[in-house]
Amino acid sequence: MTSSDAPDTADAPVGRRCFGDGDPLYERYHDEEWGVPVHGERELYERMTLEAFQSGLAWITILRRREGFRAAFDGFDPAVVAGYDEHDVERLMADTGIIRNRAKITAAVANARALLDLHGRGLSLDELFWSAAPAAAGTRPRPRTFGEVPASTPESAALAKQLKRHGFRFVGPTTAYAAMQACGIVDDHLAGCPVVLARAGR
């Protein structure tokens, strides 16, 4: 989630979603996916790639093209995407079902290769991502307004640094934090959000 996805008011009323109210696709993503723990190399590679494509855009723009991205990038199978060549890049640049940004497309290919290199060193994207989970996760007060939700954290900065060290691109601290939110490594649902209220049995 980015500031462009937040409702207009800083103080979200109790019972209002953190974002997405009024759009069934967005509501479903908010209720069923955002903040839910994600594991698995392909799954994390997909989330990381989509967050990179989201940079500078509203998340709903990406969400509406998600199936197009999955088709264009062979289901985000990193072993397949790592083999893409310049012809594939040109194919993707002509695909109206995705965001046609050459730098982001080439980064997605480079990141698939970096992921395979990671495996070659006996590491995984899963352990790299989840090593960034805050030590105090689950104990910090839940944010009540969007002003309390950070754009990045020391943990996301450390994750971005680690990813870059392993050859990943388009993974600055802000993008890394958005991926951490999306993958449930942190849970930034606001205190008055219906998802939080449902968990509390209210």
**Any idea which residues carry the catalytic annotation?**
29, 51, 59
The answer to whether the CB of 175 falls within 8 A of the CB of 51 is: yes
Question: How many Å is the Cα radius of gyration of the chain?
Answer: 17
How many other C-beta atoms are found inside a 10 Å radius of the C-beta of residue 77?
Answer: 15
Residue located via tokens 């993958």: 183
Dihedral of alpha carbons 124, 126, 131, 132, sign: positive
The answer to whether the CB of 126 falls within 8 A of the CB of 179 is: no
Whole-number Å distance between alpha carbons of 90 and 75: 18
